[in-house]
Structure formats: structure tokens, C-alpha cells
Amino acid sequence: MQTMLEIKLSKNALKVLEARYLKRDAERRIIETPEELFHLVAGCIAQGEAMWVSPQQIDHWRREYLELMTSLDFLPNSPTLMNAGKPLGQLSACFVLPVEDSMEGIFEAVKQMALVQRTGGGTGFSFSRLRPKGDLVASTSGEASGPVSFMKIFDCATENIKQGGKRRGANMGVLRVDHPDIMEFITAKLDGVTLQNFNISVGATDTFMKALEQDSDYELIHPRTGKCVGRLRANAVFDTIVHAAWRTGDPGLLFLDTINRSNPTPRVGEIEATNPCGEIPLLPYESCNLGSINLSRMIHERQGHPSVDWQKLRATVRKAIRFLDDVIEAGRYPIPEIERMTKSNRKVGLGLMGFAELLIRLGVSYASPEAVTVAENIMRFIDEESLAISQELAAERGVFPNWKGSVYEDRGIQLRNATRTAIAPTGTISIIAGTSAGIEPLFALAYKRSHVLDGQTLYELNPLLLEYLARYGLDTNKIIPEILERGGLKDVDGIPGEIKRLFVTSLEIPFEQHLRIQAAFQRHVDNSVSKTINLPHDTAPSLVAEAYRQAWEMGLKGITIYRYGSKQTQVLELGVGE
Ligand code: ADP
């Protein structure tokens, strides 16, 4: 029997749920309530316990998971919410597929991509194995057309697969910096038309980054023969990368050597690519499911002072990791190779959302050194607790099958999951939870959110700001329209310094601080961190170059920048007064 639940969902959360998640009948009428959705998800995931516990205990976990989600303390990634207990049954957001250097291999990958994308998963590919443009094709004595031209086929296929009628797919395309076609790849998206369903990232090696430091050449390697087929000046390539990123946001960089230094299963394979938003480096055919803890709900007040509720956070991490491990059992997989790889490494990605809101509620400015300390303390704690619960699960259920030969065997740590933590963007689930996205600062205090739901536009004044304005008696008919009009607090008369300090927005924060926050999280995340280094429109290209260099020096696994206004359509726009 279903009990009535009280879920505190905002208007925007309801809009998102209605547009994308709730079940519809043949006439497209919604036939499911949010309560029913969460019941279905909790019941489906708790079935993941079936191999280890009694029916009573399954029911215990069903209730725990229901509470975990309906309290909005934690939400799993969109495919789990959309598909659990429903016919597709595919629950993971992140996939990497191999692309072999043959016609069969390439079109097999296109087909596999289609099978993954129609279930709501995002796909990442390394195209580094493909022979370069102009290379000989033995079977036809013709010339190969090269990675970029084949990427267009993937792009076109994605354009035409709408995920269960819900959203368009997303891809990550990676090419190693030492691939002979690297220059064509870097500039591939400059026309604003090509590869629009791809995020692209250059696979930067340490060799390349060192050549850059020393202003020297580096070798281009033929992917089939492994031989050097040319040389490029690292600085010239880097300059092209920086200018393209400055103009369009693409390409980002993935630091492949840094990524592989923390590959938990190096003997199973080398990591060449990530999922679309970069937070999960994966081996070919691996998938990973994500979940995020809502930090804005991990706060308590003691004698009027807000602080992090560590006890609640611990309990939430423990349940969340168990939930994500159960997702691996409860899910269905689009192709057998993915099921095999995923169940061999059992990677999960627990992260968080609402970091900016947490800081505001603690009275800490995102732009201050204290914010870096909070980031570090929170993530260290989540990392340690995740490790502990994954060890307990290993004792109950066994280690992940590829554990033998993994870095954890070398260290003598028995674990259920090859990875446990990641910071996802939480683009949609943070709207459902009604908090700030991932670890990002507030983007704007008043904004128009377009393209998130096909064709719909949402207007918002940040509710947290409203709350603070009310505290100061400033939620007036004069001030609110002014903030909406300007898209922020700048130049609005009568706003106290404290509010301006706490409600600092993304474009006002120097790039170094964005990087420090990303690095603080990365130090305690075993996968990777999705973060956009948002830059004002008038940023110089030299600053982008500086950010990319520093990212490598700081040990980040990747970097993505976005200069405001550099794409014709962007998800977030400042102000609503235009
Ligand atoms: P959500 O909030 O919907 O759970 P996120 O914004 O946190 O999703 O993104 C997490 C991951 O989900 C991305 O890195 C990507 O792998 C996948 N993803 C997000 N949006 C899409 C999309 N439109 N199509 C395919 N995959 C997506």
C-alpha cells in the first residue's frame, strides 16, 4: 500500500518532472504523480538487494530509499529517475564506447551509441585509434577520411535519436594531442554548425604539456603503426586550442596521464575518454551511475549558528553508496559487453549539489579562501565515508570482480566499487531538488533558463536571495524588479555588503578561484569533477591560456571553460529584462 508523501517540490521542479519524468499514456496525458514515481524508483532499486537480504530487509531498504529521495537529501541521475521500474530499465548516465579503426568498428560504435542514447545515457568516445585523413585504405586502395569526418556521422545519428521522446543525446569526443589530425579536430566546431551534439576535448599528455612549458616540438604518432609521422610546436597547437575555446567553449582539455595515474584497474585497460560532461573517466564499454547529495539539506543550527550536520551527512553517504551499488544490480544494460564491464568494476559516482547554497547558509562567500576549505573538508569526509561503506559492502557481498590485479589489491583494501565519487553537473536533478547545481557558484540571481526543457522558458529570481532580502526587509516592489532587470545586485541601491558578498555570482569570481574550488574537490574525488570555468565576455584569450596551464599544474583531470555569450544558444542567460 502506498502512503501519501509530502514532497516539497518547487514550481520549476514540477515543470521538469512533468516534461521529462512522469509517465504518459498514448494520448501524452500524464498518468503518474511525483509520489508514484519515487515509489517506483525506490521499489526497483531495493530489488537490487534481493541476492543478499530477506524480503523484509528489501522492504526496509525500499522505505529508506524512498525517504532518501523524497526528502530531497539525495537524488540519483536522470536515467534512474526516468527508467527505474519502467520498460527501458536502463539506469546509468555515463558510458564510454570503443571506436575501432575499421568500417565495421566505426559503424558498430554508431549502432551501440544509438542503443545507449535512446535509454537516456550519455556517450563518450576516443577517436584516437582511427587512422588519419589521407591514409591508405588497403581494401579499396582509397584514402581514409579521418576521425573528424567520422565524428560527423555520430553527430548526425545523435541529432536524430531523441531519448525516449524526452531529450536529445550528448556525446564527448576525445582525440589525443599526438594524433596527426589534431589541428582539424581542434577547429572542428568553430563554424558553430559542425558537431553540435559533441563536447570535444583534446587528450593532452604530460609530454605535450612539458613541451609547452619548454616551448619545444612534440611528436605526432600514427595510431596504427605507433611511428612518429611528424612534429608540431606545442605552443602553436596550444594557441589554436585556446583561441577555439575562447571563441566557442570547445575544446576542453583532458589530462590523460593524470587520469591514468588514478585508474583503479590499469591491468584491465587504459582510460582514453570520459562521459559527456567529463566527470567519469571510463574504460571502453564501462558505464557508471551517478547520485548527488543535496548539501543544502546537510546543515543544522546550534544556538543560532548554522554548521554542517556531519552525522546526517555520514548517514546519507552510507545509504547513497548502497543505493548506487544496488542500481548496478537493478539496471538493464543496452548491450552485453556493457553489462559485463560494468559489473566487473562496479563503478559508482556519488557527488553533491547545492554547494553554493551551503556556503551562503554558512555565511561563506564562494570567492573567499574559506570556501576552498569548506570544499576540501566536505569532500574529504564524503570520500572517507564512501570508502568505508564500500569496504563494508565488499565484506557482505564480495569485492568487485576485477579487484584482483587492481590498485586496491596492491594496497590491501577490499572494495565493492572500483570508484565511488564524482562531481556531476546535476543540471536537471538540482532543479528537482531546488538547489544550486553541483559545485557551481550561483550563475545569476535572476535569470531566464531556456532550452532545458525543449521549447520552455523558466524565469527565476533566486529563492535564496528572496529569503535573504526578506530578512533585511528588502523584498520590496522597488528592489525586486530592479534585480530582475539587471540580473544581479550590482548597481542596485540599498543592498547591504553582506548580501553582496554572499551572493557573488559565477562571472564575478576570478578564474583562479574557480580552479581552486575544482582542485579542492578533485583532491578527494576518485573519478573527476564536472565544472565550468565561466568567464565574462570581455575575457582575453591569454587568460584562457593561463587557466588551461594552471589546471594541469594543479593536478586537475580536465578543464572546460565558457566565455559568456560565445555560443549563439546557451543554457543560462543573464537577466530577464531583454
Ligand atoms: P542530471 O541532472 O539529469 O542527472 P547531469 O547534468 O548531472 O544530469 O549530467 C550527468 C551526466 O548525464 C552527464 O555527464 C552525461 O553523461 C549525462 N547526460 C546529461 N544530459 C544528457 C543528455 N541530454 N543526453 C545524454 N546524456 C546526458
Q: Give domain status of residue 507, yes or no.
A: no
Pairing of β 167-168 and β 273-274:
unpaired
134 backbone φψ class: left, alpha, beta (φ>0; ψ -120 to 50): left
Query: In terms of pTM, does the model score above 0.80?
Result: yes
Is residue 422 lining ligand 1, measured as CB closer than 6 Å?
Answer: no
Using one digit for the tens of pLDDT, what is the confidence trace for 180-215? Answer: 999 999 999 999 999 999 999 999 999 999 999 999
189: its cell numbers: 566546431
Residue 439 near ligand 1, beta carbon < 6 Å: no
Q: Give the residues across from 446 on adjacent strands.
A: 461
Strand partners of residue 570? none
pLDDT digits (tens, 9 = 90+) for 372-388: 999 999 999 999 999 99
Nearest to 439 by CA among 516, 520, 354: 354
Which amino acid residue places its CA nearest to atom 13 of ligand 1?
A: 277
Residue 531 CA to residue 512 CA, distance in Å, equals: 13
State the distance from the centre of ligand 1 to the C-alpha of 524, rounded, in angstroms: 22
Q: Whose CA is nearest to atom 18 of ligand 1?
A: 122
Q: Which pLDDT belongs to residue 577?
A: 35
Specify the pLDDT at position 524: 98
Domain encompassing residue 112: 94-274
DSSP letter, residue 174: E
d(CA 198, CA 557): 19
CB distance 38 to 484 below 8 Å:
no
The x, y and z cell numbers of residue 40, run together, are 517506483
Percent residues over pLDDT 90 in the chain: 85
Task: Answer whether the bond into residue 401 is a cis peptide, omega within 30°.
Answer: no
Note if 275 is an active site residue: yes
Give pLDDT, residue 167: 74
Atom of ligand 1 nearest to the CA of 438: 7
82 lines ligand 1 (CB under 6 A): no
Residue partners of 451: CB distance under 8 A and separation at least 6 = 569, 571
CA-closest residue to ligand 1 atom 24: 169
Is ligand 1 within 6 A of the CB of residue 528?
no
Pocket lining: 277 vs ligand 1, CB cutoff 6 Å: yes
Please report the pLDDT score of residue 161 as a whole number. 87
Tell me if 308 is assigned to some domain.
Answer: no
Question: Residue length, the chain?
Answer: 578
pLDDT tens per residue across span 484-504: 888 789 889 899 999 999 999
277 flagged as catalytic: yes
CA distance 554 to 426: 24
> How many angstroms does the Cα of residue 174 sit away from the middle of ligand 1?
18
- First CA to last CA distance, the chain: 50
81 Cα nearest atom in ligand 1:
4
Within a domain: residue 198?
yes
Rounded distance between C-alpha atoms, residue 458 and residue 449, angstroms:
5
CB of 94 closer than 6 angstroms to any ligand 1 atom: yes
CB atoms within 10 A of CB 229: 14
Q: Say if CB 528 and CB 263 are below 8 A apart.
A: no
The answer to whether residue 239 sits within a structural domain is yes
pLDDT at 193: 95
Report the separation in Å between the CA atom of 93 and the middle of ligand 1, taken as the mean of its atom positions: 6
Q: Is the CB of residue 119 below 6 angstroms from any atom belonging to ligand 1? A: no
- CA proximity to 348, closest of 367, 370, 376, 329: 329
Known catalytic residue: 143?
no
Determine if ligand 1 sits within 6 Å of the CB of residue 118.
no
Q: Does residue 201 form part of some domain?
A: yes
Atom of ligand 1 nearest to the CA of 429: 2
Closest C-alpha among 284, 299, 277 to residue 559: 277
What residues does 293 pair with on adjacent strands? 74, 352
Is 121 domain-assigned?
yes
User: What is the sign, positive or negative, of the torsion defined by CA atoms of 408, 520, 278, 232?
Assistant: negative
Closest residue to atom 11 of ligand 1, CA basis:
93
How distant, in Å, are the alpha carbons of 39, 57, 71 from that of 63?
9, 10, 12
Can you give the pLDDT at residue 163? Answer: 64
Q: The C-alpha cell of 327 is what?
A: 542500481
Residue 547, domain member (yes or no) = no
- Going by C-beta distance under 8 Å and a sequence separation of 6 or more, which residues neighbour residue 365? 359, 371, 501, 502, 504
In short, whether 204's Cβ falls inside 6 Å of ligand 1 is: no
Residues of the chain with pLDDT under 50: 1-2, 576-578
Which of the listed residues 77, 90, 423, 432 should we mutate to test ligand 1's pocket, taking the one with most ligand atoms within 8 A of CB? 77
Distance CA 460, CA 455 (A): 17
Query: Contact 468/503 with Cβ under 8 angstroms?
Result: yes
Q: Is the CB of 560 under 6 A from ligand 1?
A: no
Q: Does 573 fall in a domain?
A: no
3-state secondary structure of 432: helix
Give, to the nearest 10 degrees, the angle between helix 511-522 and helix 369-397: 20
501 contacts: CB under 8 Å, gap ≥ 6: 365, 367
28 CB burial (10 A radius; 0-12, 13-18, 19+): exposed
Give the residue, by CA position, lying nearest to ligand 1 atom 26. 122
> Total domain count for the chain?
1
One-letter identity of residue 522: Q
Q: How far is the CA of 274 from the centre of ligand 1 (A)?
A: 12
Question: Is the CB of residue 292 below 6 angstroms from any atom belonging to ligand 1?
Answer: no
Residue 76 beta carbon below 6 angstroms from any ligand 1 atom:
no
Rg value, the chain, Cα: 23
Q: Which of 16, 20, 69, 78 has most ligand 1 atoms within 8 Å of CB, for mutation?
A: 78
| Residue closest to 349 by CA, chosen among 119, 557, 171, 525 | 525
Give me ligand 1 centre to Cα 81, in Å.
12
CATH code of residue 267? 3.20.70.20
Active-site position among 171, 275, 289, 294: 275
